[in-house]
Every structure is written in C-alpha cells, then in structure tokens.
Amino acid sequence: MNLRRLGTSLIAPLLGVGISIAVTSVILIAIHAQPLAVFSSMIKYGASAHAMTLILNLATTYFLSALAVAIGFKMNLFNIGVNGQYTLGAMVGGAVAGSLHLPTILSVPITIAVAMIVGAGWAGIAAWLKVARGVSEVISTIMLNFIATAIISYTIVRTSVGHETSLNVRGTAMIPESGMLRGIPLLDPKTEIYGFFFISIAIGILYWFVLNRTRFGYDLRATGHSATAARTSGIDAKRMTVITMLISGALAGLVGLPYLLGDAGSYNLNFPTDWGFTGIAIALLGRNNPIGIAVGALLWAFLDVASGQLILEGVPREITTIMQGVIVIVVVMSYEIVRRNQVKSEQKNVARALEKQEVSA
Amino acid sequence: MNDSALAVELKGIWKRFPGVIANSDINLSIAPGTVHAIVGENGAGKSTLMKILYGMQKPDEGTIAINGEFKEFESPSDAIDAGIGMVHQHFMLADNFTVLENIILGSEPRKGAKLDFDTARNQINSIAAENGLAVDADALVADLGVGDRQRIEILKVLYRGARILILDEPTAVLVPHEVDELFNTLRDLKREGITIMFISHKLDEVLAIADEITVIRQGTTVGSVDTKKQNISALELAEMMVGSELPTPETRGNTIREEVVLDVTNLSVHAAGGKAIVDDISFSIRSGEILGIAGVEGNGQAEILDALMGLVENTGVVHFKGEDISNQSTRSRRELGIGFIPEDRHRQALMLEAPLWENRMLGHQTMAPNSKGFLLNISGAKEDTQRIVREYDVRTPSIDVLASALSGGNQQKLIVGREMSGSPRLLIAAHPTRGVDVGAQAAIWDHLRNAREAGLAVLLISADLDELIGLSDTIKVLLRGQFVADANPATVTPQELGTAMTGAGKVSA
C-alpha cells in the first residue's frame, strides 16, 4: 500500500518535469534553437563540481524558505511574508554579527538566534492581527513585506547601522571572519559547500519529527485536515495560529543566513529579496514534505544555476523561468488529480477487500 | 408515446464497480400517475439505481424504457429531456436569490439579451396552481423554511418539464406536519398525471403514501407490493428489507444511580444578534441515566451540545462530577471524561483524508494510549484502533486506510468506539446511529446500553424518535431553546412526541 502511495506521489512531479520540457522545447524551436543541444549543455554544466556546489548552496536557501512556508501550509495558514521576515532577520542578524567579536562557536549561534527572533517577531505581527482582529494573514504578510523593505532601506541608508561596504553599496558592517560560518570545499576545491547545508538537513529532520511525532504536530495537521473537526476535538485554533506563525517566521529568519554567513559577510542593498516567493513554489512542489521539498529545492537551484549556461547557447536565460513556472502549474494540478484518484481508488480497494472477506467468511 | 405504457421500466440492470456489485438484476415497473416507493437499507443500492435512472451513471447491462421507449442516458440532461426530474435530499438553492430566480436558474427565459421575468413568473404561477404548490415567487429563499424549500425544488424540476419525479429521502429533513403537507402535494401531483418515485427507509411514511412499494436488498430487487391489493405492515416490510428479524432500541431495567454526573443551571446561548437560541434551561443527568432531548432540528439542540463542550459562548453554570467546568476549555472537558459524538460526522468528527488510526487520536490526542507527554504514541494508538475495529465491528481491511474509504456506518462505529474509549463518565451523543445500517445500529445501541449499565451518563439527541424513546430514561422536549414538556419514554408514542415537538400539544409526563 505504501509503495503504491509512493508510486502515485511520483506521478505528479514526473509529469510536471516532462510537460515542462515539452513546452520549453516548443519555445526553443520557435526561436530557432536546438532543444537537445540546450538541455544537454545545461546538464553537462550542472554536473560539474563547481556547479553542483553552487546548486547545493542555493538549494539550502530554498529549502529553508520552503520549510517556513510549508509549516504554515500544513494548517492552511499562508505565510506570504517570508521575504520580509528573512530580509529583516538577515539585516539585524548581519548588524549584530558585524558588531560581535566573539569566537565562532558563540557568534554564529547568537546571529542565528537573533535572525530567528526577528523573523518570528515580524511574522508575529501578522499572527496577532489575525487572531485579535481577524485580518487575513495573506494580506498582512504581503503588506509587512513592503514595510520591511522600507525599514531596511531606511536603516541602511540613514542610520549608523549602514556603512559603505564596497563600491557604492551600503550595507551592515562586515562580519569578522570569526563570525562567519564557512563551509567545506567538498566537491570543488575552489568552492565551499555552505556550513548551513548541514544545519538545514538537521532542521529538515526536526521539521519531520515535530510534525509527525509530537502532539503539537498532530494538532497542526488536524487543523489542516479539517478546521471544524480540530476545534471540536479541543484544539485551540487561535493558539495554533500564533504558534505556527511564529515558527514559520523563525524558520524564515534563517533563509538569508546561508548566504550572509557563508559568502556575503554583510547585509547590503544588493542582497536578494525574493527567496520567499521561491519558497512558496517549492513548498507546493514538495507537497510540504521535507524530502519532497529537498528534491524541489535541488531542481529549482539546478535550473537557476544552469540558466547562466543558456546565454552561451544564444538562448535567453528567462527560458528557465518558463520551465519553473510550467513545472509548478502542472505539478499542482496533477497533485490534485492524483489525490482525488487516490481517495477514490482507496474506497474501491476497501470495498473489494471487504467483499473478499465476506466471501471467505 | 403509448398511453398505457409503463412510465418507467427497468429490466435486468447490472452495475458493477471494481470489487462491488452495486446493482444486480434490478427489475422495476412503474405505472404512470402513481407513487412508487423504493425502500432498502443504506448501501442496498438505491442511490446507484437512482443515478442510473437520472443519467449520472451508465448501467453495465440492462435496459431502461421511459413511457415505452428505450433510452440510453449519457448525462442528466438526457434524463431531463426524457421528462425525468430529481429532487435531491440536500437542497440545491441559492439563499440570496428569490424563489423565482432559483427556479429559472440554468434555464432562464430570455427576451433579447434580457431575462424575461414576467413570462417566467406567469409560467411558475400556473404550474404552482395546477399542482397545489403554494409559494411566493418573489420571496427570498433565505427567509423560507425547509418545507417551502422542498416545494421550490419540486417546482424547479416541474418547470423543466419533468413528468417523472425522483424524490430522494424527501422526508429526512421535515417535521411531521411538513411531511403531511408534502404528501398532500404528492397526491395533487399524482392527480395531474405525474409519476413519483419515492426513495425512503421510513416505512410508515412509505406505507402512507405509496401505491406500490419495491424493496431492494443487497443490490437487487427482492419484491414489489401493491399496497391497495395487499395488506402489509411496516414490520413485514422491514423484514423484507433486512432479510431477518429486526433489533429494537429498547433499554431494560432501571440503572439510574444517586450520583449526579452533569448538572446544568440557567444555560443560555445567544446568537450574534442577541436572540437567545438556548434560553435559560436547567437539567441534570445521573450516573446510569440516558436523557433524551426531543425537538425539531434548529430549536437549540446543537447549541446545547456545543455549549456543554465549550465550543460556543454561553452563560450559565455547568457542573461535571461536582466540579464547575463552566470556564474550562474543550480539551480539558474531554480530559475530564466527556465523550462527544457530534451531529456532523464529516465536518466535526473526522479527518477524512487521514488514516483510521490518526482519526482514533482526534479529540483524545492528549490522552493515553495516544500520547506520552508531548510525544505521540503511535504504536499505542494503532493497537487501540485495532481494538475499536474489533469490538465495534468496523468493517475495514486495515487501520491504515483513509477514513473517507469507509462507509458512513463504519465511520460512525469508529467514532462511537473512540468516544467510548478511556471510560468516559458522560457521553454527549447527537444522532449516534444516523446513516448507519440496521446491523450497525443494533451494535451501537448495545454499546450504549452496556455503558449505561456500567454507570455512564448520556445526553442523547436524535431525530429518530423510536431510538429516542427506546433508549432514554427521561425525555425532555425542546422548542425554541426552552424545555416545553417532559415525556415518559415508557408510555409516549412517536406521534405524541412529534406533536409536542411542534408545540401543538402537550404530552403527559
């Protein structure tokens, strides 16, 4: 039975990738490019040690972002504000780390804690608005994204937190080497795999454990299955909303850190600001399941990294954006179809099994 | 068309689903201008048969003839074209539309680009007048009661030209006097030459209205009775349906003890507008006592249950085992030993897309054997789910299947088993056997009786008056949020109780 379930849950992603390749091929042919040549060049580049390291690093970021979104999705809570939560978390974390001169073993955990608290606090505003005032978290988290952007710009441009870090880019003070979390050049001697890669694996396991093995996780999933049944069973919906939103925000606070502590060393005005939306797409692809999310994050990161290669083939790199979009749409649609069929086929299987029992009885 | 032809003739209908034979060799002949009842237990194949006749499913074998002509329906619109109309059990009306708008919805008469309301109104008024269906075409559906809504549903299908009506469990939602009105309507329709298929499992009603009755058991037609020629009692009919003798819900002996388990004083629940839905009621239940509350749905029963479980804002004082629990959360009430079988199985009691063992934990996730501290005890929950499946005869191949894969009756058995776990002192049960087949019903009654003997206090709400009278030690009648009468279950009849529920008469205590 479980093997069957696994098999059917693979249908949707495979279909998504397949259709996406087909659609992209049509577009490539339309712009007089050779689909086969383009894809094989992407794969060849993606398989290089250097590219694989970049993919793992980017996937680490995406994985954390998707987990932050997924924990909310599990109870039908839509945290669209990961962008605001992680940028704010990374900025404050970066500023704190930049001012600390402590050994790595102290400095990095402090930075992580600060970023998580800031992310949770920012998401907490949306949680409070929902519970106390009935404001949809979708609206409030989107609005909070804009406010976060404004606060960050103001802080870095107008206050003493901002410094001139390099040519024409203001940012937080450079983090001393002791405050960085360096990685290991495991695949490619010249590029490091982020230290956060390993931390995020641990977080993925913890996410699975909390969701599937604790009472809190049960309450969360029950709320997602049926809010009315959850309430009748004694689950306090408001409390769950607040706690889940805080956890989601805390996870979101981590999203900027792999890059900040593994590479950038400072939160500056060029820091990427839309990893949160990527997280939403990957959470959908991975069906809120940590392994699914990991696979989705790797796929997404591969497409992002390999897109640089397209220019060499004389093809616009936006082709990969189309691929990503098509994958998400197809996968989300086919998940729903597969889910409905699963429910139906299970009903039939049960009926068949019962009939056999009765015949043999 | 041939005047003497049968309105509906089904011959040798078979319908198989993977692993299940839903219909096997169904034969049915319905004369025009008659009321023909189809009776059978839940799961006997009535709804599959209806879906076949209404074009929602195609039979694997067999023929359908309407007015003497062979038909093959690809979709309900083919059936509608052939003059068949379906009145569903759950009304499909838009609350914020008027009666007129609801009736024409989907087949609106047009004048150019505009809707032609005048023609529609005239047409509807004349259909209504011909068939004795009194409705105000311009009333808002939201303001209408259940009986009116049903008339609108009937008008809707007549407006589309139906001459053969299928009514699926039409009385399930009606109070006794509304049932009488419906039956008058059906007699008027019959006089106009309309053929009615009446699906039900309420046998006394079937006997009151039907000209002919066909019984379905295990997917096949086991016999037809012409009520004019043959005298048949409800009991005989029931035994045809079940194929064996029937269980009764009777409880024997007095098991009521001294200890008051639940004591409620001055309980009120107010609607958003300030209207009292439950209006200052007080009652108590002793150990070993089943207190039944009789009442037409919507008179405050649901709110009493929700208030006792701490699910709605309420005023008043609730003592459980001598302890004031008025301000306790739902979870702590459950932890103190209150089991709850809610009214709406699917919305309130189950996670349909979760396996049975996860459903076993719902509402009991803080208690043994489902958890230890903040961690779940999955093996404990699974083992106990096996026990429930065994003791409550839940028919399932495994506890890993999704709850949605079980039939309604088996879902209900799982819920009853769950709520009786951990030896609760009080069980709050709404319609514990609704939608459950006869065998399972008897099993649930047995469990309730045994628990009552062991000292369980039960607050029972049921639309099935026989069940309510049979199980209860005490019955209170609820009307507009207040208790208006007490009834003695040893002497009261369902008819008397039904009258008291509408406020029309008093019953003796």
Query: What is the value of ipTM here, to two decimals?
Result: 0.87
Cβ contact, residue pair B404, A343, below 8 Å: yes
Look up residue B464 and give its two tokens.
């099935």
Per CB-CB distance under 8 Å, the chain A contacts of B406 are 350
**Comparing C-alpha atoms, which of B485, B465, B467 is closest to residue B476?**
B485
The verdict on whether omega for the bond into residue B369 sits within 30 degrees of 0, i.e. cis, is: yes
Using CB atoms, pick whichever of B371, B395, B402 lies closest to residue A343: B402
Q: How far apart (Å, rounded) are the C-alpha atoms in residues B371 and B377?
A: 4
- Is A321 part of any domain? no
Give how far A277 is from chain B: nearest CA, Å: 28
Using CB atoms, pick whichever of A214, A228, A354 lies closest to residue B348: A228
pLDDT on residue A361: 45
Q: Minimal Cα distance from A228: which residue of B?
A: B348
Spatial CB neighbours of A181, under 8 Å, sequence gap ≥ 6 = A104, A108, A194, A195, A196, A257, A261, A262
Cβ atoms of residues B467 and B448 within 8 Å? no
Cβ contact, residue pair A349, B374, below 8 Å: no
Cβ atoms of residues B318 and B310 within 8 Å? no
- Is A239 part of any domain? yes
Spatial CB neighbours of B157, under 8 Å, sequence gap ≥ 6 = B85, B86, B87, B165
- Domain assignment of residue A264, given as a range: 34-314
Using CB atoms, pick whichever of B329, B347, B406 lies closest to residue A226: B347
Does B352 contact chain A (CB < 8 Å)?
yes
Buried b (16+ CB within 10 A) or exposed e, B393-428: ebbbbebbbbbbbbbbbbbbbbbbbbbbbbebbbbb
Give how far B217 is from chain A: nearest CA, Å: 16
- Is A360 part of any domain? no
Give A34-84 pLDDT, tens digit per residue.
Answer: 899 999 999 999 999 999 999 999 999 999 999 999 999 999 999 999 999
Q: Minimal Cα distance from A344: which residue of B?
A: B405
**Comparing C-alpha atoms, which of A342, A278, A323 is closest to residue A18?**
A323
SS3 B461: strand
Give how far B172 is from chain A: nearest CA, Å: 24
Per CB-CB distance under 8 Å, the chain A contacts of B340 are 232
Using CB atoms, pick whichever of A217, A343, A352 lies closest to residue B19: A352
Q: Minimal Cα distance from B370: which residue of A?
A: A215
Write the single-letter amino acid at A336: E
Q: At B341, phi and psi to the nearest 5? A: -105, 100
Q: How far apart (Å, rounded) are the C-alpha atoms in residues B25 and B30?
A: 16
Per CB-CB distance under 8 Å, the chain B contacts of A355 are 19-20
Residue ranges in chain B whose pLDDT is less than 50? 1-2, 508-509
CA distances from A210 to A72, A121, A358 (A): 13, 21, 40
- Is A330 part of any domain? no
Q: Where are the beta strands (DSSP E) in A13-147?
A: none
Provide the β-strand partners of residue B197.
B36, B166
How many domains is chain A built from? 1
Cβ atoms of residues A149 and A264 within 8 Å? no
Nearest-10 Cα torsion for B411, B415, B420, B421: 100
Q: Minimal Cα distance from A214: which residue of B?
A: B375
Look up residue A41 and give its two tokens.
């060049």
Residue with the two structure tokens 């999310």:
A293
pLDDT on residue B42: 63
Buried b (16+ CB within 10 A) or exposed e, A136-167: ebeebbbbbbeebeebbeebbeeeebbbebee
Q: At B209, phi and psi to the nearest 5? A: -115, -30
Cβ contact, residue pair B404, A350, below 8 Å: no
Q: How far apart (Å, rounded) are the C-alpha atoms in residues A256 and A116?
A: 11
Cβ contact, residue pair A349, B361, below 8 Å: no
Q: How far apart (Å, rounded) are the C-alpha atoms in residues B360 and B386?
A: 10
Cβ contact, residue pair B18, A348, below 8 Å: yes
- Is A271 part of any domain? yes
- Is A19 part of any domain? no
Per CB-CB distance under 8 Å, the chain B contacts of A346 are 401-402, 404-405
> The CATH number of the domain where A133 resides is what?
1.10.3470
Q: Where is B302: in which H helix or E strand?
A: helix B301-308
pLDDT on residue B96: 86
Give the residue from A76, A209, A212, A226 with the most B CB atoms within 10 Å of its CB, the best one to mutate.
A226
Cβ atoms of residues A181 and A256 within 8 Å? no
- Is A167 part of any domain? yes
In Å, how far from its chain's centre is CA A78?
Answer: 13
CA distances from B143 to B100, B149, B170 (A): 14, 10, 20
**What is the number of other CB atoms lying within 10 angstroms of the CB of residue B115?**
14
Q: What is the largest CA-CA distance in chain B?
A: 76
Cβ atoms of residues A167 and A92 within 8 Å? no
CA distances from B146 to A119, A245, B232, B464 (A): 51, 42, 31, 18
Q: What is the largest CA-CA distance in chain A?
A: 83
Q: Minimal Cα distance from B308: which residue of A?
A: A232
Spatial CB neighbours of A318, under 8 Å, sequence gap ≥ 6 = none
Cβ contact, residue pair B365, A213, below 8 Å: no
Per CB-CB distance under 8 Å, the chain B contacts of A347 are 404-405
Per CB-CB distance under 8 Å, the chain B contacts of A357 are 395, 397
pLDDT on residue B509: 44
Q: At B134, phi and psi to the nearest 5? A: -80, 115
Give B65-91 pLDDT, tens digit per residue.
Answer: 998 888 888 888 888 889 999 888 777
Spatial CB neighbours of B373, under 8 Å, sequence gap ≥ 6 = none
Q: Minimal Cα distance from B360: which residue of A?
A: A233
Residue ranges in chain A whose pLDDT is less than 50? 1, 361
Environment class of A327 (CB within 10 Å of its CB; exposed 0-12, middle 13-18, buried 19+)? buried
**What is the number of other CB atoms lying within 10 angstroms of the CB of residue B502?**
16
Does B233 contact chain A (CB < 8 Å)?
no
**Comparing C-alpha atoms, which of A131, A261, A137 is closest to residue A199?**
A261
Residue with the two structure tokens 């939201």:
B142
Q: How far apart (Å, rounded) are the C-alpha atoms in residues B490 and B252?
A: 11
For residue A214, what is the DSSP state? B
Cβ contact, residue pair B18, A226, below 8 Å: no
Cβ contact, residue pair B19, A347, below 8 Å: no
CA distances from A100 to A103, A177, A259, B332 (A): 9, 11, 18, 47
Per CB-CB distance under 8 Å, the chain A contacts of B332 are 234
Cβ contact, residue pair A218, B353, below 8 Å: no
CA distances from A33 to A2, A25, A30, A39, B122 (A): 43, 9, 7, 11, 66
Cβ contact, residue pair B348, A219, below 8 Å: no
- Is A217 part of any domain? yes
Provide the chain B residues 266-295 that lie in CB contact (below 8 A) with chain A: none
Q: How far apart (Å, rounded) are the C-alpha atoms in residues B234 and B222?
A: 16
Per CB-CB distance under 8 Å, the chain A contacts of B362 are 222, 229, 233
Q: How far apart (Å, rounded) are the C-alpha atoms in residues B275 and B219?
A: 48
Does B378 contact chain A (CB < 8 Å)?
yes
Cβ contact, residue pair A232, B330, below 8 Å: yes
